[in-house]
Amino acid sequence: MKVSFFETVRYLPPQALPSEWPVASGAYDPEAGARAYRDMLDRLAYVESIGFDWVSVSEHHYSPRILTPSPIVSAAFLAAHLKRATIALLGPIVPHSNPVRVAEELAMLDTMAQGRLVVGLLRGTTNEALTYDLNPAEARERTDEGMEIILRAWTEPQPFGWQGRHFQYRTISVWPRPLQQPHPPTFALGTSRESCEFAARHRLGCGVSYGPFEVMAKATRYYREQCARHGWEPKPEQILYRANMLVAETDEAAHALLRAQPGQAPFTMRAGVRDAMQTLDSRNVAGEARSPVVSGALPTTFIGSPDTVVEQVRRCRDLVGAGVLDLSLHPPGSTTLDPLTRALDLFGNKVLPRIRDI
Amino acid sequence: MFSDRHVEIDGRRLRYREAGQGLALVHLVNADALALTPAHGLLARTFRVVALEIPDGTRDGGAVAARALTQLGLEAFNLMASATTAPAALALALQAPARVRSIVLESPAAVAPGVGDPALQARLAEITTPTLILMGTLDDATATGVGRAYQARIVGCHLAFVYAAGAAIAAERAEAFAEIVADFCERREAFVISRATTLINP
């Protein structure tokens, strides 16, 4: 089992913050922000030293909860500071982006990082469509088309044009191309039928996140079926599961941590916007419709003592088939770093060495 | 609305369909492909579209097409071909380069370089007419390789992928097909310069 640390940049606000998303940027404290990025580097040096294989970053906007609106900037910064860990850039939100620009920047980053890059491409969470005024009803189509452009920009040997539905380019010919050929290990992130089919058709990995093992297993099973239909079988490291983990000395202590957490997302959209978004944003798990997550807290699927968590990881491997765990060891948005530090120590000493062979 | 007509060449009757006014856009089609797509109607809004049949097995299809087009009074034209009529279009461009303003090849997969007429394949590098090759992203890897091979042999040739289309691009993505064909035929190599506006409110 490979293990990835999901770095969210822990911004500790000096005073109480508004609770509505988008969070008023006037509440941002520049000194606290600078400290958060400095502390991130110290934390990741430790994360690397205790044996995490990857450090991952994501793209989220207009909120202090995850302070990485540009994951490519984040990844480049980390690649320059970390010596060994693979940089997992799990999320340029493709429908927001100029896909040619994404292809160029990722190829450049893979080359500068000497081939230490892993890429995840995704549609983004429901609220993100509001960031750059993207019509949420078009997000799925823009994602699929954008991902196809990125892959082709990395691999076509001669200049080419693109006559798409949502994107049009007369000439594409990216320099540099990725160091890893034909391209960095790439995941289509998401549980949807469309995402699984895209990954299978293009021989990409599949990344699922947060849901219970049984639900995520539906998606990864569908992905494997689609891979078989396209004549190949994914390796375990091509199935990635991002999850929350609460590990403590005892099961009771871990569950006490969970009980202390808020029951809903820290920054929620106004009800009128949230309800309207839900009508526009259709989601599914392997074709089974599900509601988009717009206000609820994300579930914690690994919780307990080190012994308990090791068994949960084993069960996750059996059910989901994941060969890579991308872990948030304490929910982002906490007002103190102590629980995260304790969790890292415990995970590094008592869990990580025991899940390597799972 | 396309009208059905014909032209006689050496006692042989070649059918054609025509609509529109303006610059001529000649589409060389197989006899069984004279049923046109919505893309032809879209192109006929801007061009005088002439879809001329080149029956399968026609020897020297380029010369036959050149004579037919002369009879129709078309001295200069844009030239489009699909799959098996690509050799005739390329031969015509080699024989009469001054008459052909531009060439568009839609999925020229059935006549791969090295598979078709060797003499023609050997002369591809002599083509100076601005050329655009369109391939569908759903077409198979072999077909895509053929498109790339044409692009590599024809100097300054443009290759464009039409998203979510197979080999029959004009039928499957009519609007996308017509837009790029019209732009290329109108502006030729300058079609790489975008004219799309990003202005929202002046």
Q: Taking the mean position of all CA atoms in its chain, how far away is CA B51?
A: 10
Residue B93 lies in a domain: yes
pLDDT of B114 reads: 52
**Which of B164, B177, B191 is opposite residue A170, by nearest beta carbon?**
B191
> Using one digit for the tens of pLDDT, what is the confidence trace for B65-93?
999 999 999 999 999 998 889 989 999 99
The pTM (predicted TM-score) of the whole model is: 0.95
Average pLDDT over residues A332-337: 74
**Which of A145, A152, A163 is opposite residue B180, by nearest beta carbon?**
A163
Whether B117 shows a pLDDT value over 80: the answer reads no
Residue B95 lies in a domain: yes
Average pLDDT over residues A218-247: 97
Total domains present in chain B? 1
Q: Chain A contacts of B193, Cβ < 8 Å?
A: 170
**Is A162 in Cβ contact with B160 (below 8 Å)?**
yes
pLDDT of A294 reads: 65
Q: Chain B contacts of A140, Cβ < 8 Å?
A: none
**Is A162 in Cβ contact with B176 (below 8 Å)?**
no
Shortest alpha-carbon distance between residue B163 and chain A (Å): 5
Average pLDDT over residues A70-91: 97
**Cα dihedral: A211, A216, A217, A218 (round 10):** 120
In the predicted model, what is the mean pLDDT of chain A? Answer: 94
> Using one digit for the tens of pLDDT, what is the confidence trace for A35-49?
999 999 999 999 999
Unique residue bearing structure tokens 């309800």: A275
Confidence of residue B52 (pLDDT cuts 50, 70, 90): very high
Shortest alpha-carbon distance between residue B26 and chain A (Å): 22
**Which of B148, B152, B163 is opposite residue A145, by nearest beta carbon?**
B163
Whether A219 shows a pLDDT value over 80: the answer reads yes
Residue B36 lies in a domain: yes
Q: d(Cα B103, Cα B86) in Å, to the nearest integer?
A: 10
Q: Determine the residue of chain A that is closest to B184 in CA distance.
A: A170
* Phi-psi map region of B47: left, alpha, beta (phi>0 left; psi -120 to 50 alpha): beta
Shortest alpha-carbon distance between residue A156 and chain B (Å): 9
Residue B113 lies in a domain: yes
The complex scores an ipTM of 0.95
> Using one digit for the tens of pLDDT, what is the confidence trace for A295-324?
678 899 999 999 999 999 999 999 999 999
Q: Determine the residue of chain A that is closest to B193 in CA distance.
A: A170
Q: Chain B contacts of A148, Cβ < 8 Å?
A: 137, 163
pLDDT of B116 reads: 63
Choose, out of A149, A163, A165, A197, the residue to mutate when testing the contact with B (most B CBs < 10 Å): A163
Residue B146 lies in a domain: yes
Residue B55 lies in a domain: yes
Whether B115 shows a pLDDT value over 80: the answer reads no
In the predicted model, what is the mean pLDDT of chain B? Answer: 92
Residue B197 lies in a domain: no
Shortest alpha-carbon distance between residue A207 and chain B (Å): 24
Residue B112 lies in a domain: yes
Q: d(Cα A193, Cα A282) in Å, to the nearest integer?
A: 12
Average pLDDT over residues A248-253: 96
Confidence of residue A280 (pLDDT cuts 50, 70, 90): confident
Average pLDDT over residues A114-128: 93
CATH number of A2-355: 3.20.20.30
Which comes out higher in pLDDT, residue A294 or B50?
Answer: B50
pLDDT of A333 reads: 66
What's the CATH code of the domain at B52?
3.40.50.1820
pLDDT of A64 reads: 93
Give residue B45's domain range.
3-192
Q: Chain B contacts of A160, Cβ < 8 Å?
A: 159-161
Domain boundaries, chain A: 2-355
Residues of A with CB under 8 A from a CB of B: 145, 148, 152, 156-165, 167-168, 170-171
> Using one digit for the tens of pLDDT, what is the confidence trace for B152-171?
999 989 999 999 999 999 99
Choose, out of B135, B163, B180, B187, the residue to mutate when testing the contact with A (most A CBs < 10 Å): B163
Whether B56 shows a pLDDT value over 80: the answer reads no
Confidence of residue B146 (pLDDT cuts 50, 70, 90): confident
Shortest alpha-carbon distance between residue B106 and chain A (Å): 13
Q: Determine the residue of chain A that is closest to B160 in CA distance.
A: A161
Q: Chain A contacts of B144, Cβ < 8 Å?
A: none
Shortest alpha-carbon distance between residue A286 and chain B (Å): 22
Q: d(Cα B74, Cα A309) in Å, to the nearest integer?
A: 78
